[in-house]
A = this chain, B = another copy of it.
Amino acid sequence: MAKSKRPTIRDVAAAAGVSTQTVSRVINNRPDVAPETLERVQEVIRETGYAPNMLARGLTQGRSHQLGVVAYGLEYFGPSRIVGAIERTAAEMGYGISLTLILDPETVDADSILTGLRARQVDGIIWAVPEVGDNRSWARSGGIDGNGPVLLVGPMNGRSQFPTVSIDNAAMGRLATQHLLDGGARHIGIVTGPMSWWEARQRLAGWRETIEATGREAEDCLIVEGDWTVACGEQALYRLLETCPDLDAVFASNDQMALGLMHAAHTVGRQIPEDIAVVGVDNIAESSHFWPPLTTVNQPLADAGVLDVHTIDAMIERSRQARRVLEPAPEQIVVEP
């Protein structure tokens, strides 16, 4: 028991008095095994605690039953939920997760990460790094070999050569802004995310569109660029109040910045929502526990995560069916908030 190496399929076969491929049939639940043989082999497996070596299995099958997941910012709300939902769904479907976290989305070297993951023989790759700067140019140009399924998560500028699953960020901006309009707001400011982020630009677009639909102008002085943090949300309100003293509402592109805004409002003695109404995005756990509760746009991150895995699984199956890929038009799936 001390130095016993893990048993192999050969050990099990010997102990059960059958060949290794019969054991293989048993562990793969194939039907063509005599009931009695099945029983005996299973008994041995139970006794020895045998578990097939996934490396060996992967080598012969040409698949690892692992999904490569590339993400940024696990400490933030969105990514942690997405990765959590992906892992859960993947586990249910028999996939393991090989996680790669990147430090800076803007300078990420997609090529080397994809190559590394493929060397690990992952069956498919879920790329959940947001588009920042031109860090997805590789996905538009198709400069990366089409070898092995890659799913892009999150919206991106232009058309991807790869299938994409994303939540409609412009709709988030529209929903939030419409809510503020419905509440009677006339001068609605916005704190955006960093403008290098496509998601941030989309939320801004939704805000602008909704304002302009009322016949008013989406003035530049109503826009402050933020960086997703509480601190900048705070500064943003001071800026907005300076440039637009009539301000009566703000759309914060995420909840963190919304909290900063509320902090600032409190500091300068403006009541929320009476003086200034605020809407955020994310529905973080704290949202409903502030003075007053924060109104926020909910992102269906869990649903999106489930969809991510189902989609990549379908891609994997498809690519295994037809070795000669039919070059199916990449589908762009968009989920509504």
Contact = CB atoms under 8 A, between A and B. Distances in A.
A46 interface: no
Contact of A59 (B1, B55, B88): B55
A263 B267 CA distance: 16
Contact of A51 (B75, B100, B118, B146): B118
Given A59-B59, A119-B54, A120-B54, A231 B289 contact: yes
A266 B6 CA distance: 60
A194 interface: no
A49 B119 CA distance: 11
Contacts of A69: 99
A147 interface: yes
Count this chain's copies in the assembly: 2
A75 B80 contact: yes
Specify which of A52, A256, A259, A289 lies most central, judged by the most chain B CB atoms within 10 Å of its CB: A289
A118 B6 contact: yes
B96 A120 contact: yes
Given A229-B285, A323-B3, A83 B74 contact: yes
Nearest to A6: B147
Interface size class of A (residues with CB under 8 A): 35 or more
A115 to B, nearest CB: 6
Nearest to A285: B230
A101 B88 contact: yes
Interface in A114-131: 115-116, 118-121
B75 A286 contact: no
Contacts of A285: 229-230, 256
A40 interface: no
A55 B55 CA distance: 5
A98 B101 contact: no
Interface in A256-295: 256, 259-260, 263, 266-267, 285-286, 289-291
A91 B97 contact: no
Contacts of A80: 74-75, 80
A2 interface: yes
A237 B146 CA distance: 58
The secondary structure that dominates the A interface is mixed
A96 B87 CA distance: 16
A286 B266 contact: no
B291 A266 contact: yes
Given A59-B56, A263-B291, A115 B66 contact: no
A30 interface: no
Contact of A259 (B1, B54, B289): B289
A55 B121 contact: yes
Interface in A94-120: 96-101, 103, 115-116, 118-120
Interface string A226-262: 0001110010000000000000000000001001100
Closest 5 CB pairs of A and B: A51-B119, A230-B289, A55-B58, A87-B101, A99-B99
Given A3-B324, A74-B84, 20 more contacts: A6-B118, A51-B118, A51-B119, A53-B119, A55-B58, A74-B74, A84-B101, A87-B101, A91-B101, A96-B100, A96-B120, A97-B98, A99-B99, A229-B285, A256-B285, A259-B289, A263-B289, A263-B291, A266-B291, A267-B291
